Amino acid sequence: MSTTDPSAAQALLGRFPKIRPALPDAYREIYSEHYRMNRQGRSPASSLAQGLESWMHRQVARTVNAASPGPTLELGAGTLNQLPYEPENPAYDIVEPFADLYRDSPNLARVRNVFADIREAPETARYARITSVAVLEHIEDLPATLARSALLLDDDGVFLAAIPSEGGLLWRLGWSLTTGLEFRLRRGLDYGVLMRHEHVNSAREIEDLVGGLFGEVKIRSLGIGVQFSFYRFIEARKPRTDLARTWLQVAPR
């Protein structure tokens, strides 16, 4: 069990919204192609990474009651690659701003509602599960997204997030020797530039914010702690809804 004093999480709010570092021209020219190749596992390094990432998908899916999964909202659903791990659920909604990622997916038929932004989800909607896989590290205004998630949960609902151990030693070593090395050999460019552009939030920031916003938090690792793990899994319950409303009041519109 892991808990964080809400006042400690509150102290992080001044860091947000984050400003994503701009990509140099050489990176912008190949960004879309590299992203598709990476997500589809079309290179040896990205294929290996996807194999490891299956741990995150399994952690999220293991919490669901297959007989009665309840309404679910997935944040940053991307190519819908979480759905093969999930039981059939007629009330499965997603948030994904990039329609090109899911438009041709055979799993799209399993999705009830698609929102481009979590703010599009009706305030009256309630979910038994709100999930995300390798998403929270990318969100520039993370406190607002977490606060909206907290307010959309059932009283006994659960917030589930699988994240890379961004900021940890093993995570950096892992991508440096696989995807990073392959990228340098293929492109002659530093993969760290892409990582800093993509991953604007560290694992500790994410965990501290979730820990402050929820009264009950459990964390598991693929490894040991943040420094010596590849991925972390967060299971959070008992949202502090008054605090969530406060966070939204100070969030940019």
Write a three-state SS string for 199-219: CCCCHHHHHHHHHHHEEEEEE
Say whether pLDDT at 40 is over 70. no
State how far the Cα of 216 lies from the Cα of 158, in Å rounded to an integer: 10
What pLDDT is recorded for position 31?
A: 86
State how far the Cα of 179 lies from the Cα of 115, in Å rounded to an integer: 31
- pLDDT confidence band for 10 (50 / 70 / 90): confident
Mean pLDDT, the chain, integer: 92
Amino acid sitting at position 139: I
State how far the Cα of 68 lies from the Cα of 72, in Å rounded to an integer: 11
* Per-residue model confidence as pLDDT tens digits over 61-113: 998 998 899 999 999 999 999 999 999 999 999 999 999 889 999 999 999 99
State how far the Cα of 177 lies from the Cα of 49, in Å rounded to an integer: 11
What pLDDT is recorded for position 109?
A: 98
What pLDDT is recorded for position 2?
A: 61
Range with lowest mean pLDDT among 113-122, 177-186, 234-243: 177-186
What pLDDT is recorded for position 38?
A: 65
Q: How far is CA 252 from CA 1, 17, 120, 141, in A?
A: 32, 8, 16, 8
State how far the Cα of 215 lies from the Cα of 138, in Å rounded to an integer: 24
| 172 neighbors 199 (Cβ within 8 angstroms) | no
Question: Across residues 107-122, what is the average pLDDT?
Answer: 98
Place of tokens 């703010």: 119
Range with lowest mean pLDDT among 28-37, 41-50, 156-165, 236-245: 41-50
Range with lowest mean pLDDT among 51-55, 150-154, 222-226: 51-55
Place of tokens 């659960």: 158
- pLDDT confidence band for 33 (50 / 70 / 90): confident
For residue 17, say if its preceding peptide bond is cis, omega within 30 degrees of 0: yes
- pLDDT confidence band for 250 (50 / 70 / 90): confident
Other Cβ atoms closer than 10 A to 100? 10
Say whether pLDDT at 148 is over 90. yes
β pairing state of 153-164 and 214-224: unpaired
Say whether pLDDT at 41 is over 70. no
In degrees, rounded to 5, the angle at the alpha carbon of residue 45 between the alpha carbons of residues 83 and 82 is 5
Question: Across residues 9-21, what is the average pLDDT?
Answer: 94
% pLDDT > 70, the chain: 91
* Per-residue model confidence as pLDDT tens digits over 42-58: 566 556 667 789 999 99
| Residue 242, φ and ψ in degrees, nearest 5 | -65, -40
Supply the pTM of this predicted model: 0.93
Give the three-state DSSP class for 167: coil
The set of residues, in sequence order, having a beta carbon less than 8 Å from that of 218 and lying 6+ positions away, is 1, 2, 234, 235, 236
